[in-house]
Amino acid sequence: MQTVFSSVLLDVPAAAVIWLALLVVVAVAVGALVARPDWLRSTVAGRIRQAAMPSHLELAEEERERIRYADEVAVAAERAGATAARRRAEWLAAQEEVEAAWAAYETAEADVRRLSAAAAMPLPQTAQTPSEYADRERFLHRTALDAYWRKEISVEQLSDVFAHRNGWDPRRHPVEQELLLRQAARNNLAERHRVAVERERAAWRAAELAVASARSLRDEAYVARNRQPEEEVESVLPLPDSGRSAAEPTRDAPTVARGRAAVAAY
């Protein structure tokens, strides 16, 4: 019993030395943390930040995806530009159709005014013979055919003329017959002009939408091709910056100007 107790007493000084050493290490660590409270947080946040950053393989894959996306948008922008050019050509053609329809209407309106003035005057009296009626009928048919070939009256109206229905009487005076034909042509040309105006407006809206779509895609292609990859990702924990005062504003990232690629004339 005495021997066991003696051996224990011999180990007490060594254990005390070990405990004192541990206490010294803990005291030094606590003192360091008290003196530099940001050191541990900076170290931990830095390691987490490093772990959160993408690897070189991930960055390379992101770069390939960015280039592929930019190429696809560029192709879509080129196609949209071609569509916009085609829509503009259709709009210009519709404009020309409106102008032609209006010119034809004005000519028909002038003829109606001229013939109305002529019909208001006393018409010469001719002998009402079968030969005279035949001449008037031939005149009506010939004048109606000329108006049809000029696309001033429809095939239905031409049929009415030859069938002598819906007010087409070959016994009328040629001046009256021509006046009725010019009035019918004027009304048809007025309707044609109205339809042409509606078609031109629809073509203009389609051209405007196509131009806006092409411009948007070209802007997107420019941004996608010139976007710089981020050098670092947002850290999970904010890193302390002891060298900057609280009142100093943070510096924002520079704004990259978005260029507007010129869209071809439509």
3-state secondary structure of 102: helix
Going by C-alpha positions, the residue among 79, 77, 93 that lies closest to residue 202 is 93
pLDDT: which is higher, 254 or 146? 146
Whether residue 99 sits in one domain with residue 66: yes
Q: Which domain holds residue 42?
A: 2-48
Whether residue 214 sits in one domain with residue 138: yes
Structural domain count of the chain: 2
Residues 22-77: tens digit of each pLDDT: 776 666 666 655 665 555 556 555 555 555 555 677 777 777 887 888 888 888 88
To the question of pTM greater than 0.75 for the whole model, the response is: no
Whether residue 20 sits in one domain with residue 75: no
- Residue showing tokens 């940001």: 38
Whether residue 215 sits in one domain with residue 89: yes
Whether residue 12 sits in one domain with residue 83: no
Whether residue 97 sits in one domain with residue 217: yes
Chain mean pLDDT for the chain: 74
- Is residue 266 one of the residues assigned to a domain? no
Give me the phi and psi of 209, to 5 degrees please. -65, -40
pLDDT: which is higher, 55 or 216? 216
Contact yes or no for 54/47 (Cβ under 8 A): no
- Is residue 177 one of the residues assigned to a domain? yes
Whether residue 69 sits in one domain with residue 17: no
Contact yes or no for 236/49 (Cβ under 8 A): yes
Bin 38: left if φ > 0, else alpha if -120 < ψ < 50, else beta: alpha
Whether residue 176 sits in one domain with residue 78: yes
- Is residue 252 one of the residues assigned to a domain? no
